[in-house]
Amino acid sequence: MTETASTVFDEIFARLTPDSILRDPRATGEGIAVAVIDSGVERSVLETKFAGAGTSINTIEGAVFRPSGPPLPYTGHQSSPHGTTVADIVLTIAPRVKLYSADVFGPTGSCEVETVIAALRHAIDVWKVKVVNLSLGVPEHKLQQLPRRHQLQRAIEEAYFRDVLVFAAAHNEHPLTRSYPAAFAPPLISVDKGLFDDPLRFAYKLSEQVEFQAHSRGYLGPFAREPATSWATPHLAGIAARVLSLKPDLKPFEIKTILYWLFRSGSATPLA
């Protein structure tokens, strides 16, 4: 039986390995802006943590968003610990990113679809981010009104066509509930939870409209050690930032393809 001759694709994929890309010493997130759309970030906590570890991070900037009107100034504080845990994961994976805190909860402690859209557009237009992390979800019953759903979908699609990669936590409300915007895939990357022996490992596991699994334990905060999609999403967002720091002009679909092939070549499977 005649052996099939290798092609240029075989050569490319043989070089596309987690070790050659993710462990490249230049893959630090340098030059990549990341927005964490969440409950704010406690800046001093992260500065103290990373300074204590001898890791230099860029100054965290941000804003507090409302359904209407201009955003309020960011004072370096969180509305709740969730956003700080998410930001810590991004910086643990890609410590040299330029991180922006988009607080969409503010003093009221609640978030509307319109606030998320305002934060997303600000992150794209003003902060010029390449990666957006959405470790929050809007349950389907809140988007029964089609105009609201279409507005959110248009904002996600706008990000995609402006070369901004959005990572969204899947099933953030309940394992059996469709959660938005993750259900809008493929213009974004939806992430489910898994446990891996290395936080740089992840898996491609297509199930309904969810494509990837990533490490789902955090490192800082009251609930960080409890596996959650909220913690899985910034792991994969940080990994994407590492890839982008090697080639910042990659398109969102190219990043998704690279993540898929990194999984194929690394053969990662979750521990749980």
Indicate if 82 belongs to the active site. yes
From the list 38, 88, 103, 192, the catalytic residue is 38
From the list 79, 82, 135, 192, the catalytic residue is 82
CB 134 within 8 A of CB 185: no
CA distance 190 to 82: 19
* 161 Cβ neighbours under 8 A, 6+ residues apart: none
CB 179 within 8 A of CB 137: yes
From the list 79, 230, 235, 245, the catalytic residue is 230
Indicate if 38 belongs to the active site. yes
φ, ψ for residue 132 (rounded to 5)?
-125, 130
Residues labelled as active-site residues? 38, 82, 230
